[in-house]
Chains A and B, each alone.
Chain A
Amino acid sequence: MVILGGCANRPQWPDQTSSAVSPIASSRSSDLDLDQRLILEQVPFYAQEKYQCGPASLAMMLNAQGLTTEPDQLKDLVYLPGREGSLQVELVAAGRSHGMVVYELDGSLQSLLTEVAAGHPVMVMQNLRFNWWPQWHFAVVTGFDREKRNIILHTGTRELHEEAVEVFMATWNRTENWAVVMLPPGQLPATAEPIDYLMAVNDLETTGHWDTASEAYRTAERAWPDQPAAILGQGNIAWQAGDWAEATRHYLRLTSEFPDLAAGWHNLAQSLARQGCESPARNAAECAFSLKPDRFSLEMPAISSGVSAECPSVDCPDTERP
């Protein structure tokens, strides 16, 4: 496919905060105004040392969330001396290991400005030179000025540098508009989409940051009660921690909220079996099987013996199967 990238198109300044953002986020951001000059004062500035825009940008992102860390401390985590630079994935991983949910934006200027207007600094990747001779660069967007059509960044050795939106878009487009926010698990990004956010939280779960992930799943559950993965995730974390009773508690919530979700019944059967609750476990396994016979079998998980637990009663939903 032929790529006709950004030829002389004057970038449009977004009119208002996105109407496409999720209802929760938009209700929160309804008072956000992109028609102004705005600077996030709480983002500290670290001038980068040679080639070390990665550690410096990461430090600014983390400090903005109240963490005390410095580029020097982060250097070992994200700086590759041989490459004289940092990798995106390592910056993301480092954000996670500091207890942050790292959420990648959809790449539109609208979303970028919406996050900034909501008070969230945004880490962006730019290519300051050309596609065939790249100069990769990380910076933190800390504000914007609609009147002057400027994006305001902490970049390199320049604090609150004002960059024309044309220049910013040209350099940002060359990295396929890579942009992330890093937020503590109790806060949702302003442009968060349910599945994308939950996938970001799942990355925390699979990398073993269970406390952060659990809290973020709870945040997601409050924001989007229609998302089963938010509850499943809490149960799965308890399961991985070997806390069968806690896992059962979440899986029971899941099956009562989402009785048609076979995975919920299957996981409930597993945790009940670990608790030694044979008969309810069997019922739950049958529910999973009847909902999704091609995925789950009636084969019972091994029942743990000698575990004393109060066993809940489990009944399949009255589903009218076609």
Chain B
Amino acid sequence: MQTIRNNLRFTAFFMAVLMSLATIWTSPAVANVVGTGELLSEQRVELDRASLLNMLEQQEVKDKLADMGVSQADVEKRIQNLTPAELSAFEQQLAEAPVGQNSVVGIIVLFLLVFVVTDILCATNIYPFINCIR
């Protein structure tokens, strides 16, 4: 038992050292200047955002939005405010979807449902007809 504990202590110490080293290594390799990777991830996010906004231009999507009583401007505003992580999650769903017009519309509608949930949780206020629960 004691040996296990000693071993664990050693492991813990080793992990602590490793993690602090890892933190140092992962901090921007180029101190003071903006790294190339930082610019590239920003550009990737903007690219994803643009492709998402493009989809709103499809007629089927517009019709669906109208059916749900959501204005296109509201959705556009929401897309502008999406975090990079949310955007990439959306792109992921799109990439996994089978090919076809319907599925794209389906995913966008699914995405709008996420807004409904966030509205209910008071995180957003996109649909005026949804009262958030406190």
Contacts and interface: CB of A to CB of B under 8 A. Distances in A.
A85 interface: no
Contacts of B33: 235-236, 239, 266-267, 270-271
Contacts of B96: 1, 3
B36 A267 contact: no
A164 interface: no
Interface residues of A, number: 24
Contact of B29 (A198, A240, A263): A240
A119 to B, nearest CB: 28
B47 interface: yes
A233 interface: yes
Interface in B33-54: 33-40, 43-44, 47
Given A1-B96, A195-B47, A236 B40 contact: no
Interface string B41-69: 00110010000000000000000000000
Interface in A1-58: 1, 3-4
| Interface SS of A by simple majority | helix
Interface stretch (A73-81, A129-137, A199-207): A199-207
Nearest to A288: B34
A202 B36 contact: yes
Contacts of A261: 39
Contact of B30 (A195, A199, A236): A236
User: Interface SS of chain B: helix, strand, loop or mixed?
Assistant: helix
A301 B38 CA distance: 20
Nearest to A194: B43
B36 A205 contact: yes
Contacts of A199: 37, 40, 44
A202 B29 CA distance: 12
B20 interface: no
Interface in A91-121: none
Contact of A270 (B29, B32, B37, B44): B32
Given A206-B29, A236-B30, A266-B33, A228 B39 contact: yes
Interface of A: 1, 3-4, 195, 198-199, 202, 205-206, 228-229, 232-233, 235-236, 239-240, 261, 263, 266-267, 270-271, 301
Q: Which 7 A-B pairs have the closest CB atoms?
A: A263-B34, A233-B36, A267-B33, A202-B37, A202-B36, A229-B39, A270-B32
